[in-house]
Amino acid sequence: MKKNSKVLIVDDDLFVTKMIKDILETAGFEVTILNDPRLAVSVAQELDPDIILVDRVMPYLDGCDLCKELSRNHFTSHIPILMLTSRADTVDRIAGLEAGADDYLCKPFDELELIARIRALIRRVQQERCINPLTGLNGNPSVEKEIKQRIFFNEKFAVLYIDIDNFKAYNDTYGFLQGDEVIKFLAEIIVKVVRQYGNPNDFLGHIGGDDFIIVTVPDKVDILATKIIASFDNGIKQFYSAEDWERGYVVTLDRKGREQIFPILSISVAVVSNENRKIDNHWKVSEIAAELKKYAKTFPGSIFVKDRRRKD
């Protein structure tokens, strides 16, 4: 966790806020105090702190009501809230958590426990930001970190970049909610196949939209790619109307009202490996994968292609 994590304290008690500020600044936090809870949403929106400490009982605006306001605001809903209170009753704790607080700490509290809880909440949110919310798979930051580590430790690895062909046309025809179901369908296939045929330390990622990634070892490429393609092709029928499936394509209109025909969804898998060539940075992996995916999409239907070049 970065040393200068920002903490916003919302509490009308001047003595308590000064005491907490001293504790947290000694621990390396950057602290802002706000004694008027009515200003909390606007201040939090401008400051964008890593965490907000909210007192349970305050004049003008109750701590639970403030949590609700912070949770409803698009620009502050992602910020974790630690509620501080002198009320130890279970009912009050439940009320605070249901109002949107992420954790609850009763006064008087131990200094080390306060610091530990703040760090834990910030760490949890930072980890959640690395997870794709639709599929629960690792997002871009985690993907980049994984590839960098394998390069750093000079491991033999293979990266499978998987994306859905003609996905935009499908979304335009069936809507983004149905498109999300297709994305989740592919994610479930990838997880199932890797669990069954991959290695325990294989890495799965969802890098946005309809793009997925698997980091594995070279000798697992063929079985993983083949099984994923087969499962996708066998199951995609459920996401089409009987009419579209029967004729084998969907029809959409372009901006000028002209009909365009797009095939049934398929997937392209581009495989990049350092088995036969040196790869010394993660950007090179992405660059090679982009070339391979472009090539793969020149073929009809689902396919996987490997980079077989032995040197740059």
Count of structural domains, the chain:
2
Indicate whether 65 and 182 sit together in one domain.
no
Helix axes 111-128, 14-26, angle to 10 degrees: 70
Q: With cut-offs at 50, 70 and 90, classify the pLDDT of residue 1.
A: very low
Report the run of H or E that residue 177 belongs to, with start and end.
Answer: helix 176-197
Flag whether 113 is in a domain.
yes
Q: With cut-offs at 50, 70 and 90, classify the pLDDT of residue 141.
A: confident
Single residue among 102, 128, 154 that ends a domain in this structure:
128
Indicate whether 113 and 165 sit together in one domain.
no
Flag whether 81 is in a domain.
yes
Q: What is the DSSP letter of 220?
A: G
One-letter amino acid of 22: D
Indicate whether 242 and 265 sit together in one domain.
yes
Of residues 1 and 94, more confidently modeled: 94
DSSP string, 75-130: TTTTS-EEEEES---HHHHHHHHHHT-SEEEESS--HHHHHHHHHHHHHHHHHHTT
> Stretch 90-116: mean pLDDT, rounded?
88
> Stretch 59-78: mean pLDDT, rounded?
89
Whether pLDDT at 94 is above 90: no
Whether pLDDT at 189 is above 90: yes
The gap from C-alpha 94 to its chain's centroid, in whole angstroms, comes to: 28
Across 90-99, 267-276, 292-301, least confident range: 90-99
| Closest of 54, 58, 78 to residue 67, by C-alpha | 54
d(CA 258, CA 235): 30
Tell me what pLDDT residue 231 has: 98
Q: In this structure, what CATH number is given to the domain that contains residue 199?
A: 3.30.70.270
Cα distances (Å, whole numbers) of residue 92 to 57, 96, 200, 247 = 11, 6, 44, 61
> Stretch 32-44: mean pLDDT, rounded?
95
d(CA 113, CA 237): 54
Tell me what pLDDT residue 81 has: 96
Whether pLDDT at 312 is above 60: no
- Output the CA angle 129-131-137, nearest 5 degrees: 175
Flag whether 133 is in a domain.
no
Cα distances (Å, whole numbers) of residue 195 to 22, 137, 189, 205, 208 = 49, 14, 10, 14, 22
pTM of the model: 0.70
Tell me what pLDDT residue 2 has: 47
pLDDT tens digit sequence for 4-25: 899 999 999 999 999 999 999 9
Flag whether 134 is in a domain.
no
Whether pLDDT at 308 is above 50: yes
Residue carrying the six token digits 């199932």:
192
d(CA 115, CA 97): 19
Q: In this structure, what CATH number is given to the domain that contains residue 71?
A: 3.40.50.2300
Total H helices, total E strands in the chain = 11, 12
Indicate whether 56 and 108 sit together in one domain.
yes
Whether pLDDT at 311 is above 80: no
CA dihedral 218, 157, 128, 200 (to 10 degrees): 50
Q: What is the DSSP letter of 136?
A: -
What is the pLDDT of the chain when averaged over all its residues? 91
Residues of the domain holding 200: 140-306
